[in-house]
């Protein structure tokens, strides 16, 4: 487990180093060109701080309360329709940037969450209830209703396909 | 302290430790997003569409996959594209792939959830954004 954590840190630092290198190149080309992107990045970071805290709290409580047996029952191989519905609902109600959720999903996966349900969760994150009024404003109610129904169906199709490709096994992610 | 309290502290310690390992990749993505948001403007996006229905739907899906950010931005750009007579097929595939495909986040997804899972999931989401855009517009033409 330590090895996997080290790997995440190792590649993460490489990735961060690459992006910093991009900024350095931009700075060398035009010193003023990086202030705006840095400012935008800072704003994004400030906006996601509450989500990061929420995810850490969720991870903490899930480490404490959710034992592999419970995960397997509700989100694992034996979860059935209940698992699919839970993944859809959790995906829709979850907040914040998608990448903040990856560590939490990795944790749940280690405890037995099915790969198909991870895909369903990630796909349904595209449906954001608080943003629906804005979407309706631009595209109208019929468009939004039809699109949402198709998106939920697509999430299940995507989950099923991924389950078949990965054999539904938790080791294959 | 009783063993329950110790277990709770241990659970949160593990959570913070696990998340701190992810911090460098999250910071990298945020810095990349900053570059995207500043240097890829709405005008640049609108100018790419050609008027060809099939090409535009594909272009919409490709653009939405590359670009990223708050879904509201995709709705605003989508609204502008519709006003510029870009087809609803293209706009739908654009807003769909914007929220379901993430090329910028792909390195993070690969790292946490595995290469095969992340690449297959993003490819499937890309294809589904085209299929759903076609189905949505056709359904609307029948229903409305």
Write out the residue range of the structural domain in which residue A32 sits. 1-48
Q: For residue range A118-173, list pLDDT tens digits in order.
A: 999 999 988 888 778 888 988 999 999 999 999 999 999 999 999 888 765 444 44
What is the reported pLDDT for A172? 46
Q: Which residues of A touch B31 (CB under 8 A)?
A: 16, 19-20, 23, 37-38, 41
User: Are both A95 and A153 inside the same structural domain?
Assistant: yes
Query: Which residue in chain A has the smallest CA separation from B75?
Result: A135
In this prediction the pTM is 0.77
CA distance B103 to chain A (A): 12
Q: Is A109 a member of any domain?
A: yes
User: Are both A128 and A172 inside the same structural domain?
Assistant: yes
User: Are both A170 and A143 inside the same structural domain?
Assistant: yes
User: What is the band of A2 on the pLDDT scale with cuts at 50, 70, 90?
Assistant: very low
The one-digit pLDDT tens for each residue of chain B (144 residues) are 567 888 889 888 888 887 887 788 788 888 988 998 898 887 787 788 887 888 999 999 999 998 876 787 788 788 878 887 889 999 999 999 999 998 888 988 998 899 999 999 999 999 999 999 999 999 999 987
- B100 CB within 8 Å of a chain A CB: yes
Q: Which member of B33, B117, B139 has the closest CB to residue A44?
A: B33
User: Are both A72 and A120 inside the same structural domain?
Assistant: yes
Q: Work out the percent of chain A whose per-residue pLDDT is above 70.
A: 89
User: Are both A91 and A164 inside the same structural domain?
Assistant: yes
Q: Is A55 a member of any domain?
A: no
What is the reported pLDDT for A168? 52
Answer yes or no: do A102 and B75 touch at CB < 8 A: no
* Residue A45 three-state SS: helix
- Domain count within chain A: 2
User: Are both A95 and A14 inside the same structural domain?
Assistant: no
A6 or A65: which leads in pLDDT: A65
CA distance A152 to chain B (A): 11
Q: Is A4 a member of any domain?
A: yes
Count of beta carbons in the 10 Å neighbourhood of residue B99: 24
B4, B5, B12, B18, best to mutate vs chain A, most A CBs in 10 Å: B18
Q: Which residues of B touch A111 (CB under 8 A)?
A: none
Q: Which helix (H) or strand (E) holds B135?
A: helix B115-143
Q: Is A136 a member of any domain?
A: yes
- B54 CB within 8 Å of a chain A CB: no
A43 or B44: which leads in pLDDT: A43
């Amino acid at each position: 487990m330590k090895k996997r954590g080290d790997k995440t840190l190792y590649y993460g630092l490489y990735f961060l180093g690459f992006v910093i290198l991009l900024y350095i190149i931009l700075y060398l080309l035009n010193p003023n060109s990086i202030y705006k992107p840095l400012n935008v990045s800072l704003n994004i970071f400030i906006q996601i701080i509450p989500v990061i805290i929420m995810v850490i709290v969720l991870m903490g409580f899930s480490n404490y309360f959710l034992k592999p047996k419970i995960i397997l029952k509700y989100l694992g191989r034996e979860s059935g329709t209940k698992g699919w519905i839970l993944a859809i609902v959790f995906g829709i109600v979850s907040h914040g940037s998608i990448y903040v959720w990856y560590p939490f999903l990795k944790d749940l996966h280690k405890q037995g969450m099915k790969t198909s349900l991870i895909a369903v969760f990630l796909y349904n994150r595209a449906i954001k209830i608080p943003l629906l009024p804005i979407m309706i404003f631009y595209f109208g109610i019929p468009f939004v209703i039809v699109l949402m129904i198709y998106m939920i169906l697509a999430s299940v199709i995507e989950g099923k396909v991924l389950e078949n490709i990965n054999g539904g096994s938790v080791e294959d992610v | 302290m009783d063993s329950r309290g110790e277990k709770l502290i241990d659970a949160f310690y593990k959570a913070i430790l696990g998340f701190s390992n992810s911090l460098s990749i999250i910071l990298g993505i945020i810095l990349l997003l900053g570059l995207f948001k500043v240097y890829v403007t709405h005008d640049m996006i609108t100018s790419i569409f050609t008027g060809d229905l099939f090409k535009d739907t594909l272009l919409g899906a490709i653009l939405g996959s590359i670009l990223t950010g708050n879904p509201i931005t995709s709705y605003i750009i989508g609204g502008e594209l519709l006003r510029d007579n870009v087809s609803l097929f293209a706009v739908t595939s654009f807003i769909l792939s914007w929220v379901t495909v993430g090329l910028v986040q792909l390195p993070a997804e690969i790292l946490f959830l595995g290469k095969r899972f992340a690449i297959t999931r993003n490819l499937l989401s890309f294809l589904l954004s085209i299929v759903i855009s076609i189905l949505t517009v056709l359904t609307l033409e029948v229903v409305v």
